[in-house]
Chains A and B, each alone.
Chain A
Amino acid sequence: ELKVEQNPLFLSMQEGKNYTIYCNYSTTSDRLYWYRQDPGKSLESLFVLLSNGAVKQEGRLMASLDTKARLSTLHITAAVHDLSATYFCAVEGTSGTYKYIFGTGTRLKVLA
């Protein structure tokens, strides 16, 4: 059974600080996705990581993928209040299925 685990589940951090969210998964998939969800809103795509060693950056967020370790990280640099949201990683199912499995999410709160 494919499992996707994120940690931490909750993260409260000061503005200006750095932190990393971790996403571990149990399949051999080499495709991983990060999404953001603002309170009361839908999900929007942040990053698409399609191969081992992939790194994507957008503003203060940087995502990377290590398929050998089955690990993706979402690094936050010099956090600002606007980054407060819930972040999800998601992985495609293994060959033969077209499932999509989300992690439980990390709720990030950036304190001014």
Chain B
Amino acid sequence: EAQVTQNPRYLITVTGKKLTVTCSQNMNHEYMSWYRQDPGLGLRQIYYSMNVEVTDKGDVPEGYKVSRKEKRNFPLILESPSPNQTSLYFCASSLGHGPGEQYFGPGTRLTVT
């Protein structure tokens, strides 16, 4: 089944404890992206990747890191999480090197206390 998977789906952590949210797609998509969703703010793009080893900042990259070592994986790293990073995170992918029509993962709800 063609899909985007994220893990974990739910995570409660403490301020400053490094964490990684994994994202994987099995559709051979070129473009991958991370978003955070907050009430009243819609979805905001954190980072995106057009190809392996090629990443760029979205609108809210502060406090996040990403890497794209393989085509299928695009992990989101929070080196020192803070409470303002409490949010619902979505990974998405699309076929071409540009954004295009995106296919979303199930989401990861992160709480930082």
Closest to A6 in B: B42
Q: Is B70 an interface residue (CB 8 A)?
A: no
Closest residue of chain B to A103, judged by CB?
A: B42
Q: Taking the complex as formed, is A100 at the interface, i.e. its CB lies under 8 A from any CB of chain B? A: yes
Chain A 20-57 residues near chain B, CB threshold 8 A: 31, 33, 42-45, 48
Contact B101 A98 (CB under 8 A): no
- Identify which of residues 1-59 in chain B touch chain A, using a CB-to-CB cut-off of 8 Å: 31, 33, 35, 40-45, 48, 50, 56, 58-59
Is B102 located at the chain interface by the 8 A CB criterion?
Answer: yes
Asked if B56 and A98 make an inter-chain contact with CB atoms under 8 angstroms apart, the answer reads yes
Does B105 sit within 8 A of A, measured CB to CB? yes
* Most interface-central of A42, A93, A102 (chain B CB within 10 A): A42
Given A33-B102, A43-B90, A44-B104, A101-B97 contact (CB < 8 Å): no
CA distance A31 to B50 in the complex (A): 17
Give B77-92 interface residues, CB cut-off 8 Å to A.
90, 92
Q: How far is the CA of A8 from the CA of B103 in the complex (A)?
A: 25
The closest CB in chain B to the CB of A1 belongs to: B59
Count the A residues whose beta carbon is within 8 Å of the partner chain — how many? 20
In the complex, the chain A residue whose C-beta lies closest to that of B54 is A98
CB < 8 Å neighbour of B45 from A42, A48, A100, A103:
A100
Q: CB distance A45 to B50 under 8 Å?
A: no
Is the beta-carbon distance between B103 and A45 smaller than 8 angstroms? yes
- A interface residues with partner B (beta carbon < 8 Å): 31, 33, 42-45, 48, 88, 90, 92-93, 97-105
What are 16 A-B residue pairs whose CB atoms fall within 8 Å in the complex? A43-B90, A45-B101, A45-B103, A88-B43, A90-B102, A93-B99, A98-B56, A98-B98, A99-B58, A100-B33, A100-B45, A101-B59, A102-B35, A102-B43, A103-B42, A105-B42
